[in-house]
A and B are shown apart, each in its own frame.
Chain A
Amino acid sequence: MNSRRPGTYLLSGVRRLGSVTIFLVQLLIQCVPALGRPRLLVMQIYNAGARSLIIIMLSGLFVGMVLGLQGYDLLRRFGSEEALGTAAALGLLRELAPVITALLFAGRAGTALASEIGLMRATDQLTAMEVMAVDPLRYVAAPRFLGGVIAMPLLAAIFSVIGLYGAQLVGVQMMGVDRGVFWSQTQGSVDLHDVNEGLVKSLVFGIACSLIAVHEGYHAEPTAEGVGLATTRTVVASSVITLLLDYVITAAFL
């Protein structure tokens, strides 16, 4: 496989893109009946969302604190420390929360999804469902995909809130920025447009990351190596796609 020419890489890339697109359409068709099974869906929102809470909250706190520190240092050079609230809130809402949440989601929930579905493939569970006349796309893939899509914006919102608290902790409590100024600046500078940008980003990242994870797991080679490869691919593809899409959406919102 190492001696492949660039053309073959391009071809296999295009083929993969096509396969993912077809899979997305099939998945979306199955999402309608999947919505009618709230128990399965809630279970998957719990798996992808609630189980990622600790890592999201911890990361949010530290990212916020670093933002407070760096932001304060930078803004002080221009004598405008009061703008820390604005910088932290906009940075978090529009950029850091959706992107870092998506990257963490890919590492935590995405890998879990891909390896779970891949193992179900490897142990014939998906085939068994097929033979029992139960569509695994409907029963296994669609609820997991929807669970991820719903969980991502919620996680990003929690990331923003905790991050802002972290920035405040450092900026106000440690560096001495005025509390009233910090919050009034935050309140004054954030408008619906910014919230929307963050929301759209996290929704799109949610769709992309969940789709990649479910697709990779569903099409994994039914071997230990195949499942491992599917997991790795999930993280790599999700991360790259997230950053790429981030640029595209940011440009669209400016």
Chain B
Amino acid sequence: MTSTAATSTAPAGDVVVAVRDVHYAAGGRPIFAGLDLEVRRGRITAIMGPSGTGKTTLLRLITAQVAPSRGQVSVFGKDLSTFGRSEIYALRRRMGMLFQNGALLTDMDVFENVAFPVREHTDLPEPLVRLLVLTKLQAVGLRGAASLLPGELSGGMARRVALARAIVMDPEVLLYDEPFVGLDPISLGFILRLIKHMNQALGITSVVVSHDVQELATIADDSYLISEGKVAAAGTPAQLRASDSAAVRQFMTGSAEGPVPFHYPAPDYATQLLEADER
């Protein structure tokens, strides 16, 4: 697999997130072994890869929830390993993150969930908080659901509320963890347009982690394909589809046949079935 650095031509000031030679292992299992990638300002960067390649771990590295065992993660031009707790918190206030399951706080209603970061970080008067929250809820089409509790929402609705919460503090960078999983076509199209819109209208830098290749390809400016702890391919979605690597093409077209194994390593099928028969 070849690693093509499609973004290396970007001016240094334009790089918002830089991951350099990152090694990381969780529970003794290596997840990244020399990961290199860049996220540039004002662009939508897609991080793709098969399940279990550590895409969510990458977001945890960028938000400084975990630290790499080797290598460097820089955000806004600063090395995260030099950060203390208060600096990490200051950094996170410039970021928004959308969790796969929404991660709404279950003991408060939709309105309070969206208002939560505002109330925690600012002393804005109540009318202003209300205004802020209602405009964000309107943007995700859920102003009418303001008084519902998270338990009363469908999965798609919960994710839209979480999106409203992620943008309520007007972050510079938005991280999306698998935003398309389990969405109906209407919600999916809506989330896609919303990501694109927030990127174009507000200039928010977006990092979208997903394995929904087709959806991502329609909005992403840059994309990275991660496999076996490294960037297997980088470039625009069109470049990735035209890649001369069979593994990259297999992933982009979603075929079970190809160099990337679909089956978890196992003994020979026929032998194992016969063994079971003998017992």
Q: Which residues of B contact A178 (CB under 8 A)?
A: none
A135–B194 Cα distance when bound, in Å, is 29
The chain B residue sitting closest to A135, CB to CB, is B89
Q: Is A131 engaged at the interface, CB distance under 8 Å to the other chain?
A: yes
* Interface size of A as a range: 10 to 19
Residues A125 and B90 in contact in the complex (CB < 8 Å), given A132-B120, A134-B117: no
A127 interface neighbour in B65, B89, B106, B116, Cβ under 8 Å = B65
* Interface size of B as a range: 20 to 34
The chain A residue sitting closest to B90, CB to CB, is A133
A125 interface neighbour in B92, B106, B121, Cβ under 8 Å = B106
Residues A124 and B99 in contact in the complex (CB < 8 Å), given A131-B65, A134-B117: yes
Q: Is B243 engaged at the interface, CB distance under 8 Å to the other chain?
A: no
Q: Which residues of B contact A129 (CB under 8 A)?
A: 105
Contact between chains at A131 and B93 (CB < 8 Å): no
Contact between chains at A123 and B120 (CB < 8 Å): no
Contact between chains at A132 and B116 (CB < 8 Å): yes
Residues A124 and B103 in contact in the complex (CB < 8 Å), given A132-B116, A132-B117: yes
Q: Which residues of A contact B92 (CB under 8 A)?
A: 130-133
Q: Is B240 engaged at the interface, CB distance under 8 Å to the other chain?
A: no
A127–B101 Cα distance when bound, in Å, is 12
Contact between chains at A134 and B97 (CB < 8 Å): no
Contact between chains at A123 and B101 (CB < 8 Å): yes
Q: Is A128 engaged at the interface, CB distance under 8 Å to the other chain?
A: yes
B106 interface neighbour in A123, A131, A134, A139, Cβ under 8 Å = A123
Residues A124 and B93 in contact in the complex (CB < 8 Å), given A131-B63, A134-B120: no
A125–B108 Cα distance when bound, in Å, is 12
Q: Which residues of A contact B106 (CB under 8 A)?
A: 119-120, 123, 125
Contact between chains at B93 and A125 (CB < 8 Å): no
Q: Which residues of B contact A134 (CB under 8 A)?
A: 116-117, 120
Q: 8 Å CB contacts to A: which residues of B91-150?
A: 92-93, 95, 97, 99-101, 103-106, 116-117, 120-121
Q: Mask for A169-194, Cβ within 8 A of B = 1, else 0?
A: 00000000000000000000000000
Q: Which residues of A contact B117 (CB under 8 A)?
A: 132-134
A80 to chain B, nearest CB (A): 54
A89 to chain B, nearest CB (A): 41
Q: Which residues of B contact A123 (CB under 8 A)?
A: 101, 103, 106
Q: Which residues of A contact B63 (CB under 8 A)?
A: 130-131
Q: Mask for A139-166, Cβ within 8 A of B = 1, else 0?
A: 1000000000000000000000000000
Q: Which residues of A contact B101 (CB under 8 A)?
A: 123-124
Residues A128 and B99 in contact in the complex (CB < 8 Å), given A123-B106, A134-B117, A134-B120: yes
Residues A127 and B121 in contact in the complex (CB < 8 Å), given A132-B116, A133-B92: no
A120–B99 Cα distance when bound, in Å, is 14
Contact between chains at B103 and A127 (CB < 8 Å): yes
Contact between chains at B89 and A133 (CB < 8 Å): yes
Q: Mask for A106-141, Cβ within 8 A of B = 1, else 0?
A: 000000000000011001110111111111000100
Which of A123, A124, A132 has most chain B Cβ within 10 Å?
A132
The chain B residue sitting closest to A138, CB to CB, is B120
Q: Mask for A78-99, Cβ within 8 A of B = 1, else 0?
A: 0000000000000000000000
**12 additional contacts, CB 8 Å, given A119-B106, A124-B99?**
A120-B106, A123-B103, A123-B106, A127-B65, A128-B103, A128-B105, A128-B162, A130-B63, A130-B92, A133-B120, A134-B117, A134-B120
Point out residues on B near A: beta carbons under 8 Å: 63, 65, 89-90, 92-93, 95, 97, 99-101, 103-106, 116-117, 120-121, 162, 165
Point out residues on A near B: beta carbons under 8 Å: 119-120, 123-125, 127-135, 139
By Cβ-Cβ distance, the 10 closest A-B pairs, closest first, are A124-B103, A128-B103, A133-B92, A133-B89, A131-B97, A133-B93, A132-B117, A134-B120, A124-B99, A131-B63
